[in-house]
Structure 1
Amino acid sequence: MNRIVQAYFKEGIEYCRKEAFEKAIPLFDKVLSHEPEHIDTLYNRAKARFKLKQLEASISDFDQLIELQPRHALFYSERGVAHYLAGNMTSALSDLDKTVELEPQKPFRYSSRAFIKERAGDLKGAIADYEKAISLDPEDAISLNNKGLIEEKMGHLEKSKKSFAGADALDPAHKATDQPKKEDISNDPIRYKPKPPVEGNKVNVKSYLNTLTALITSKEEQKMFIDFLKNFGRTQK
């Protein structure tokens, strides 16, 4: 990368850090006109487009990144979120399937896919993924809790009680002091999981991602999953 092109890249990164994404994208375009396969630039443009809710454009950048680095699980994960928010449920699940294939020993890959499966109506598949996440990390209270929510939805009340009890035992700080009444379930910090907020016919990206990342128990894993929203300019390996 020559000095002029490098200057475009650095300026784009600075705009991203200031959340001026609409100013960053044209600078990344200039870099890519000289070096169309520059990973860091493609990645940061994908992030900037995502932040501006330009989901199809962001997906296009992730398509190119995956073509260049087909075994990078993070790219599939982030493209999967973009697909979900764009209403492409089948593509979202396909991407999350790939993350599981690439990183089968990471429990949050299963719990993240379970979250999407539940919204696709595959409740049995979601439970299976939560169970796999729990088998890999027996102290995963959030997966236990979310499994209980689905079991409750399916009418498996005894199973759900067992899952909730296990979650409470692992994470007593979040245990409700009183069992909420049915109409007050939204006040329960453990058993209430909001649906993705909607603006008209569109999902609110920030609120949805806050909900999605709540599935991930480890701070390190949370950072991996939402890295592209926070760490603009970080070099990809």
Structure 2
Amino acid sequence: MKKMIPFLLAICLCSSTIAQPTSIDKAHELLLDGNLEEALSMFDELEIKNKSNAEFYFLRGSCQSELGDNNKAILDLNRSIELEKDNSNTYYQRGFAYFSIGNSEAALVDFNQALKLSPDYGEAYLNRGSVQYDLGNSDAACKDWQAALDTGLTLAQALLDQLCKS
């Protein structure tokens, strides 16, 4: 039985201009406040006006992931990536969703892409390390957790202490 390392889920504040700022901002605020069902309902109502908005699909996918519906989250995150291919946060979030449904290989690809786009993304190193550990690549996991620590993510220290040899 493989050990599953808890993921750190980071919901990012995005700053691009969007079609319905007040409505999406309100849904985003509900998401950040933990009112997930209400946020998702509001996102669903807003979809028709935001079919070309990568940030909208990122936020709704993040909400679905928080609610545990990672398959739907992946669909929205796929759409977000189609619209904006260079957003490391979206690859990170989709990697998280893939790992949550047990698709470690796809998660690894997405965490790699997030790090390619943002080489100092501590959370991506942390979670790629967890995927590596799950896949039985302990050395690679420890290197990633050290890289996460090097970015200032102190949470990685516990994983290094517990699972990596000095």
TM-score (norm 2): 0.70
Q: Could you give the per-residue CA deviations for residues 108-143 of structure 1, whole angstroms, max 9, x where no partner exists?
A: 533331122112211122123235456x55x87654
Q: Please, which runs of 5 or more residues in structure 1 have no aligned partner?
A: 152-159, 164-237
2:160 to 120, 140, 147: 147
TM-score (norm 1): 0.52
* Structure having the higher Rg: 1
Question: Secondary structure of the residue that 2:119 maps to in structure 1?
Answer: coil
Q: After TM superposition, list the pairs within 5 Å mapping 1:73-88 onto structure 2.
A: 73-88=88-103
Deviation at 1:16, TM superposition (A): 3.7
Distance across 1 between alignment mates of 2:92 and 2:29: 25
**CA 1:70/1:6 → structure 2, altered by over 3 Å: closer, same or farther?**
closer
Distance across 1 between alignment mates of 2:54 and 2:135: 32
Q: After TM superposition, list the pairs within 5 Å mapping 1:218-233 onto structure 2.
A: none
State the identity as a percent: 20
- Alpha-carbon RMSD across the aligned residues, in angstroms, is 3.1
What amino acid is aligned across from residue 32 of structure 1 in structure 2?
E
Q: Is structure 2 residue 29 aligned with structure 1 residue 44?
A: no
Q: Please, which runs of 5 or more residues in structure 2 have no aligned partner?
A: 1-17
Q: Identify the residue that residue 114 of structure 1 maps to in structure 2.
A: 129
What amino acid is aligned across from residue 69 of structure 2 in structure 1?
Q
Question: Secondary structure of the residue that 2:136 maps to in structure 1?
Answer: coil
**CA 1:65/1:148 → structure 2, altered by over 3 Å: closer, same or farther?**
same
How many pairs does the alignment contain? 149
Deviation at 1:150, TM superposition (A): 3.0
**CA 1:25/1:148 → structure 2, altered by over 3 Å: closer, same or farther?**
closer
**CA 1:120/1:12 → structure 2, altered by over 3 Å: closer, same or farther?**
same
Aligned partners of 1:45 and 1:61 also within 8 Å: yes
2:43 to 22, 28, 48: 28
Distance across 2 between alignment mates of 1:90 and 1:30: 33
